[in-house]
Every structure is written in structure tokens, then in C-alpha cells.
Amino acid sequence: MYENNYNYIEVPEDNGNKNKKGKNAGRIVAGLLAVALVGGISGYGGAYFQNSRSADSISADASASTSSSAETATTSATATTTDSSDSSSVTNLITSSSSATGSLTTEQIVEKVSPSVVSVQAKFELTSGTATSTGTGIILSSDGYIITNAHVVQISDTEYTSNNSGGNNGFGNGNDIFSYFFGNGGNGFNSYSTKTVTKNATSVTIVLSYDDETEYEAEIIGADTNSDIAVLKIDAENLVAAKFGDSDELTMGSKAVAIGYPLGLGLSTSEGIISGLNRTISVELSGGGSASMTLIQTDAAINPGNSGGPLVNEYGQIIGITSSKLVNSEVEGLGFAIPITDAMPIISDLMSQGYVSDRTPQIGITGMTVNSAVARYYGLPVTSGVMVVSVEEGSGAETAGLSEGDVIVAADGEEITSMDDLTAVKSEKEIGDTITLTLARSGGNVDVTLTLGAAEDSNSAESEDDTTAAE
């Protein structure tokens, strides 16, 4: 069986010998990713996590209702002195490999790139206690902008909310103990509901590879869960900014070097090749629904803690951000990195506004996966598909005539049995593309064609509860 690739370690306490610089970490909208390889193989090479649970953590009855939302806060990039503060300059950081002077040895690559690699250490305050994670980052600019993975500085947490309204005593408004334990009175265990939220790290600490005696407190400028990219900022100058190559020029079999901080062991490097290009990974979002990522595949060893670090070509140019790895005794040499050419426009948005806008095409509905129980409850004509819960005003869905209660059973001729199916078809589209939906209605099936629009604000929560999400 393939297992989740998280490892738990004891993180040493601060010995007080290191200098502290910078500000407290900021907040942004986020959702922790869980990555599953298309075809049913699952695994996730994420940050290196430690979770310390509080002795008095809250418990709830198994029948408690669940919902999920994204914790939202506004964070903006205020620094403007960097030469990478706008879209054009960030994109222009990428240079063609044809301009490189020649291939480097692995030793030369490590010597060239390591000064631009940092350790990222995040701390979280959860309902059940505290947690920490470690990952890797890449110095984007000399004045302190740093790239890492979003999941290094974000985590999902379950919060419990009491629905008691009376508050007279533990048994509610005079209800007896039977009602308390079995929920008939509405104020026992069943009166608790749970909510899954995505939380930013309460603090993010950066340590430079060439100065492990100084710690910098980082601000989270922005993050994007769909791409698993985050941008941090530390108060520092004259840093060694990385050099970036064009990932579109990669070929299978070319050299690949990964540098990072795996398993909390300190700066490390591994060497391999580009094993594959344009590998599609299905990404499940903690807030519900899923997205797709197109990644570089490499056999260079990528382990927990490498997340957010560089994948480097033979010229010492960063061509990818290491993101996930499938770990199993039967599967070796299967690592992934986000192509840097795809990442730069996202990084630019995060730097300028704290979130990524107008990137994910939207149908303009809130949908719910249909199963036999849902079909019976709502009296639907089919037992699988996506039921339209609501239609956004002014959206392509409204223009095409979609209504609450419609069930989407196919999209562009592909069978739709769940929200994940619909998201997968939609993710292959761009804003402005058309999509043909087959709707199951009481009078039979009908096809409608609509134009996909842009999300008004990708900082907004995309999921309303554990079965409902925006599309």
C-alpha cells in the first residue's frame, strides 16, 4: 500500500545562540495539498512535519457534522525595491540555456547554486496543539524575496464549534442524560460541528545556507494552493539571487540536480536526470475539489524537507521547484518539480497582490457530488454526477440556462460522476474556452454549451462544505 510521505521528528528547541531578524509571518488564503498520482498511485513528498497534541484537545461525537472553509486574510506585498516586483521583470529572470557558457560538473553546480538556497522552518498553532514543518526555499531577489512550496507554510486544522444555544448546563435546556448522549435534545455531543480550515504558519524562520548562525523571520507575501507555490519576504540585503533557466527547453535524459534540506539533515544534494516532461498530477485540495499540476519528473532523490527547493540543470540554472515525491519500497526514483517557466507568472501575481487572479476557469456554479443517498434525498433522476446547488449571477452557467437541481452527467462527452471528474475536465481549459455539459433533468438529458469565466478572487473560499465546492 502506498503511504502518505510525512515523517515525524523531534525538533530541537532554540538554544538561544542564533540571532533573530525580521517580522512575524503574514497571513494568506491557503489550502494544504494532498497529491495523488493519476491512475490511483498516491503519495506526497511534503514538508517535514512534527505535531505535538495538547492534552486537553477537544473531542467530538462521530456523528458531528463537518464543513470546510478557507481561512482568509489580506496580505499585500509592500516592498517595491526589488528588481523582480512586477510581472515583466520576474518573467525576464528566465534565460535560455543557449546563453550559458558551458556545462558544469555537479560539484560546480552545488557551489554556484547553494548560496541561493535557504532552510524554511514553520511553526503552527492548531486546535490540538502545535506543529512544525521544515522545507527549502530559493532566493528570488537580493533584497529578500524567497520562493517555496505553499504546503511548507500552511497546514489544515480541524476546529470544533458548539451549537448549544441554551447554555444552562451540560445537558442543554433541561433535557435528560439520554438526550445528552444520543443527541435527541440537540445539546449533547451531536451539538458539536467540525470545520476544516487552512492555517498559515504563526512564524516562518529562514536560515541562509552560508550563515547558519543567523535566523530571519519571514513574512508570507502570498501563496497559491493549486500550484503549491508561496512567496516569502525577509528583511535582508545583498543576498545571492538564483539564476533561472527555461524549463520549456528541457529534454528527457538531461542532467538534473536537486539541492535542499531533506529530513532535517542539513543542506544536501542529489543527482539524476530529467525522467519525463509534462507529467499530470491530480491535486486534492483540503477545502474540497481538486486541481491538476503539470510537472517535471526526475529520478534525483527528493525527500520530505526538499519541498520548495531547486531542481537545477547542467548549467547551474534553476528549472524547477521540487514539490512532491512518491515514496514506497516498490517505487524508487520518482520525484517531481514545478516547471519554473510555469511558476514565474504565479510568483509575479503573489508578489504584486498576494494571490493568483484570473487563472482558473470557472463554470459559475456551486456543485455537489451525487451518490445514491443524495439522489434519493433530492429526488434526482440519476444516482451519479454533479448536482448544481447554486448558479452565480452573470456567469456562463447562468447565460447557458443552468438551474439549481440540474445534474451534470457529462462534460465534452466525458462521463462525470463526481466533482473531481468535472474539475479534471475543466482544468484542461482556459478562461474564455467553451465547454459542453450534459444535464440530467426530469424530462431527459439536454446538452448546453457555455463559456468559462474567471474567478472574481482566487483568495475567496472555494468550498462551502465537505461535499460542495465552487466550479
**Helix (H) or strand (E) run with residue 245 in it:** strand 244-245
What residues contact 282, with CB distance under 8 A and at least 6 apart? 35, 36, 37, 38, 290, 291, 292, 420, 424
pLDDT level of residue 37 (50, 70, 90 thresholds): very low
Residue 23 lies in a domain: yes
Q: Is residue 165 part of a domain?
A: no
Residues 340 and 387 in one domain: no
Pair 261, 342 in one domain: yes
Q: Report the pLDDT value the prediction gives residue 361, as an integer from 0 to 100.
A: 85
CB burial of residue 432 (10 Å; 0-12, 13-18, 19+): exposed
Across residues 139-153, what is the average pLDDT?
93
Q: Is residue 214 part of a domain?
A: yes
Domain count, the chain: 2
Identify whether 99 is a catalytic site residue.
Answer: no
Domain end, chosen from 322, 353, 384, is at: 353
Inside any domain, residue 193: no
Q: Which pLDDT tens digit goes with each residue over 55-66?
A: 333 222 222 233
Burial of 329 (0-12, 13-18, 19+ CB in 10 A): exposed
Same domain, 404 and 426: yes
333 and 367, same domain (yes or no) = no
Structural domain harbouring 70: 19-158+198-353
Q: Give per-residue pLDDT as tens, 362-399.
A: 898 988 899 999 999 999 999 999 999 989 888 999 99
Residue 387 and residue 314 share a domain: no
**Same domain, yes or no: 131 and 280:** yes
**Per-residue pLDDT tens over the stretch 345-370:** 999 999 998 888 756 788 989 888 99
Are residue 404 and residue 304 in the same domain, yes or no?
A: no
**Mean pLDDT (the chain, rounded):** 74
Percentage of the chain modeled with pLDDT above 90: 43
pLDDT at 21: 56
Read off the pLDDT of residues 182-226 as tens digits, 9 standing for 90 and up. Answer: 444 444 445 566 666 778 889 999 999 999 888 999 999 998 877
Single out the residue of 266, 259, 252, 228 nearest to residue 342, CA to CA: 228
Q: Which amino acid is at 153?
A: V
Phi, psi of 227 (to 5 degrees): -100, -10
Residues 220 and 297 in one domain: yes
Q: Tell me whether residue 203 is one of the annotated catalytic residues.
A: no
Same domain for 339 and 372?
A: no
Residue 223 lies in a domain: yes
Inside any domain, residue 226: yes
Q: Which residue has the higher pLDDT, 151 or 252?
A: 252
Which of these is catalytic: 143, 151, 268, 349? 151
Q: Encode pLDDT of 256-270 as tens digits.
A: 999 999 987 889 999
Q: Are residues 98 and 237 in the same domain?
A: yes
Specify whether 272 is located in the same domain as 245.
yes
Per-residue pLDDT band for 44 (boundaries 50, 70, 90) equals very low
CATH number at residue 439: 2.30.42.10
Residue 391 lies in a domain: yes
pLDDT digits (tens, 9 = 90+) for 427-442: 788 889 999 999 999 9
- Catalytic residue (one of 143, 228, 406, 420): 228
- Distances from the Cα of 190 to the Cα of 60, 163, 373, 412, angstroms: 8, 9, 21, 43
Known active-site residue 307:
yes
**142 and 272 housed in the same domain:** yes
Mean pLDDT in residue range 166-194: 48
